[in-house]
Chains A and B, each alone.
Chain A
Amino acid sequence: MKALRRLWRLVATVIAIAGLGVAVLPGLDIRLDFSFFLPQNPRPEHLLIVDRLRDTAGGIVLIGISGDSAETIASASDSITEALVKSNRFTAIANGRSIPFDLSIAQPLVESRYLLTDTRTDTFAEHNLLTSLQQRMTSLASAHGWILRDLLLRDPTGAMEELIAQWQVKGPNIEHGVWMNDDATRAIMIGRTVASATDLDGQRDVADVINQVAAKWKDRGLIIEISGPGILALNSSQIIRVEMIVLSLVGTLMVTVILFSAFRDPTILVVVGLPLVMSVLIGAVVVQLLFGHVHGIALTFGATLAGVAIDYPLHLAVHRHEKESPAATAAHLAKPLMLSALTTIGGFLAIAMADLQGLAQLGTLTAVGMMAAYLLSRWVMPWLVPSGMGASSWRGRKAVTFVATHVRKSRFLLLGLLCICSVGALMKIESTWKNDIADLGVLPFEVRERDRILREEAGVPDARYIVIVRGQDEEQVLIRQEELRPALIAAQENGAIASFQMAADLLPSIATQRARQRLLPDSPELMARLMAPSAVLGIDIAVLVPFIEDVETQRHRDPLRARDLLPSPLAWRLEPFLRKERNQVTGLVLLGSPVDVGAMEALADSAGPEVFFLDLRLQVSRLLEDYRRSAIRWLVVGAVVGFAILFLGLRRFGATLRAAVPAGAAVVATLVFLVLCGIPLTLFHFLGLLLVGGIGVDYALFFSGHHLRYFQHGQNLQSIALCGASTITVFTTLAFSNTPVLHQIGLTVAFGIGCAMIATFAFYRPKIQVSP
């Protein structure tokens, strides 16, 4: 009857966990951007970095077509472009074929053309009007000119041609009429999706449509590659999802084998799984409530809680006596488990106080998750454990005792080896820190490489060098950019920069537009000036009346502002150059490489406090360097807090040292291993080390402190061996991940736990073995 009741409890628990998962997971706002690495209160340049890394022109899709002759891939490019235009998934898509200027789209520009182009005092002088009209008559001989003949005679000064040249997006090389890379092996297409880059469902739909359209070309052996911020975000989520499923399944299967061989009871899986799953879910919910979103990296790291959460129920199951109720065993284990949990929680709570968003989330999620794991193991698990469950018949006990005894005998040898290796590692450690943002992401190398190549070939500026111009509003920024223009032109002429692009080139300030308005002649004056040129060229003055009327209208029209371009596609041409943030507007001047950094810094310095030069790659590197310093500081704080909690719990310095030293030795050994293997260190290795420290303390506690004498040493050894084997299995599986973050954490923790076990065995003292 009791067994049946317990079975029902188990079933109810599984249903409750599944229900909680279904209820909680869709409500989580999971983000995968660079914000993880930002301070809580980022400076404007930090936001700018995030913006650039996220790609301000979000929704951009890059498509590469290769695998056949240039002619064939050009045909594929045309065919795919045509199909994608019809798909209605893109606001714009281009493959390099220039398209005739669409007057309906360009209407706002046409209506303000003399305010937007470089209208000078002599633009409407008689001699210039004659030259301009002659040029227009020549243009009429071209196919374009003939098609746009109404416009040509309406615009004899050629303002529209100037505008078209300014507003058209520049692309890579043209081969067979379409954009191609330098050796004409890959055709490039650039599109902008209707769905935003963060709309993963929309991006999935876009990817499906592209794949569908490209299917017939793929069948012919062509290679179609897709990239862009939205597609990468989609890839990230898909990769994480697939890896999590595959790795979880493999890890679960292996842990199941280990646990089943130890307990011969399938219910152990539910008993162990409960704190494991619940701790991650509860941690994620608390982070969502506190921060408004959960960063993917914090959540991924949260999954490593499994390594710790699995230990508590295992300790309980292994230490069970046949004649003792599960609740009584839990009560006996409460103190060491609580101390172990509090040590790790203290460490991660200190990290939760960090002023770095991602680190704070990660610390909170881990601390809350571990607290939940402990409380569930202490209070809920005994309620679920079958009375007959125990691991007393475990066959590996002898082997573990043998290993532990020999490790202890060799402890001085091991210590000496660690010291020697540490010296070697110390000499290498500074050069192994990696500040490359890509290595902190979740995307595999090949995906990142594909994006980099496509981006480079498409000529999408990586915008490494930028001059930032700040102002209170759009007008102030545009005026400052116009003031900066002569210096930029001089820099270009001197070779300090190859080129520059900025908002003021496309949209002059209101002040400039007003100044140009004042230069426009009134109708009678313009007609008088046109009389002689038109007579020379045999043009009836009546043909030019629409031009005269347009000039008159533009003399009185309101200057064009960025908002007037909405919702036309012209607005997104301007968008990457102007950024509105809180009460400020930032204008970006994108500089073409090569760039003389010193000269541009001097130029920005002399232009006033609202203008500054940014080397984005350097800034990202500096930001990550700051992050590293800050993260290590908080990790040290976390370790100190953990040690303090341990001391408060054990009340004796000697016992505290006995618990802390094996953990510390495991952390040092792991760090030495990583450094000597030449593995570039990232933040996640260090976070993994903190986890190793926490778990190491958990193991060591079973061999120190008076209260532990209640249990047999054999049981302690068995408990640690089981916990260690399960944790190492989980993290070794993780180390096989292609996702950098998961790989780094997996490798560090798997190796670290192995070291923690060895270190614990080295401090193993059989003489104090006391039976209850």
Chain B
Amino acid sequence: MDQLAVALVAAPLERIAFEERRYLPGVQDPIVLRGYLLRSGKGKLEKHVQYPVVESFIVDIDSVEIRGVNGSITRFNLDGYPVLRTVTAIFRDFLAGSLQRIRKDFVLNLSGHEFAWTLGVVPRDAGILEYLKDMQLEGQGGRVRRVTIKEADGARTIMDLAVSQ
């Protein structure tokens, strides 16, 4: 676990391409999104969607800003959106190598080896479990290759990541 944390901190701040598949219960085909992620040094995480809609999703410590293609900017506090808050906090802490902080509220289960590891994240708090079932991060060295989020209502999101050329 410590080795993974060190590797994550050492990973460069690079532009990461993603393909996200959103599965809704009762809906046969997933909704597919493509774009790229950016991580700033100040813990800010940017998700830029390029397909099928164009919009940016910028997560700060406790707020989110959504920039639409028409120039509209929506900014809101994450307090009212627990799934979003939890997932972004885990993701940010994880990329920063702060696994100890995640461990406080979640059970972490690391398996595999340096070149193919899987980290299971399960909420300890019953309140969080009401909306987030679990989260799984898969990767290689200091790089995350796939994130899987399972929500309590059966919705599932799989995001595949690759360094952009």
Fill in one digit per residue for A249-291: 1 if any B CB lies within 8 Å of its CB, else 0: 0000000000000000000000000000000000000000000
The interface bits of chain A over 79-114 (1 if a CB of B lies within 8 angstroms of the residue's CB, else 0) are 000000000000000000111100000000000000
Is the beta-carbon distance between B75 and A141 smaller than 8 angstroms? no
A144 touches B28 (CB 8 A): no
By beta carbon, the residue of chain B nearest A137 is B31
Judged by a CB distance under 8 angstroms, whether A18 is at the interface is no
Interface set, chain B 22-81, CB cutoff 8 A to A = 22, 24-29, 31-33, 49, 52-53, 55, 57, 64-67, 71-76, 80-81
Residues of B in contact (CB 8 Å), total 29
B37 CB to nearest A CB, Å? 14
Q: Is the CB of B31 within 8 A of A540?
A: no
Instruction: Decide yes or no whether A146 CB sits under 8 A from chain B.
Output: yes
Give the distance to chain B from A511, nearest Cβ to Cβ, in Å. 36
- Is B31 a contact partner of A140 (Cβ separation < 8 A)? yes
A553 at the interface (CB under 8 A from B): no
Answer whether A174 and B72 are a contact pair too, CB < 8 Å, given A146-B22, A147-B81.
yes
Report the separation of the CA atoms of residues A174 and B49 in the bound assembly, to the nearest whole angstrom.
Answer: 22
Instruction: State the total of A-B contacts with C-beta under 8 angstroms.
Output: 66
Q: How far is the CB of B19 from chain A (nearest CB, A)?
A: 12
A317 and B14 alpha carbons, distance in the complex (Å): 94
The answer, among B25, B65, B84, for a CB contact under 8 Å with A177, is B65
- In the assembled complex, the Cα of A710 lies from the Cα of B81 at a distance in Å of 93
Instruction: Please judge, given known A-B contacts A99-B76, A174-B71, whether A143 and B55 are in contact too, CB under 8 Å.
Output: yes
Q: Are B74 and A97 in contact (CB under 8 A)?
A: yes
- Secondary structure type dominating chain B contacts: strand
What residues of B have a CB within 8 angstroms of the CB of A100 in the complex?
74, 76, 80
Q: Does A97 lie within 8 Å of B75, measured CB to CB?
A: yes
CA distance A543 to B71 in the complex (A): 33
**Is residue B89 within 8 Å, beta carbon to beta carbon, of the partner chain?**
no
Cα A144 to Cα B74 in complex, Å, equals: 10
Residue in contact with A149 in the complex, picked from B24, B29, B52, CB distance below 8 Å? B24
CB of A174 within 8 A of CB of B31, answer no
A15 within 8 A of B: no
For A609, list chain B residues within 8 Å (CB): none
Contact B73 A97 (CB under 8 A): yes
Note all chain A residues with C-beta closer than 8 A to B24. 140, 149, 153, 543
Residues of chain B within 8 A (CB-CB) of A143 are: 49, 55, 57, 64, 66
B72 to chain A, nearest CB (A): 6
29 contacts between A and B (CB under 8 A): A97-B75, A98-B73, A98-B74, A99-B76, A100-B74, A138-B52, A138-B53, A140-B24, A140-B31, A141-B31, A142-B49, A142-B53, A142-B55, A143-B49, A143-B55, A144-B66, A147-B84, A153-B24, A177-B67, A177-B73, A537-B27, A537-B28, A538-B27, A538-B29, A539-B27, A539-B28, A543-B24, A543-B25, A543-B26
The 5 closest A-B pairs by CB, nearest first: A538-B28, A543-B26, A177-B73, A540-B26, A98-B74
Mark A residues whose CB is within 8 Å of B.
78, 97-100, 137-138, 140-144, 146-147, 149, 153, 174, 177, 537-540, 542-543
11 new A-B contacts, CB < 8 A, other than A97-B73, A97-B74, A97-B75, are: A78-B75, A99-B76, A100-B76, A142-B49, A143-B49, A144-B74, A147-B81, A174-B72, A177-B65, A177-B75, A538-B29
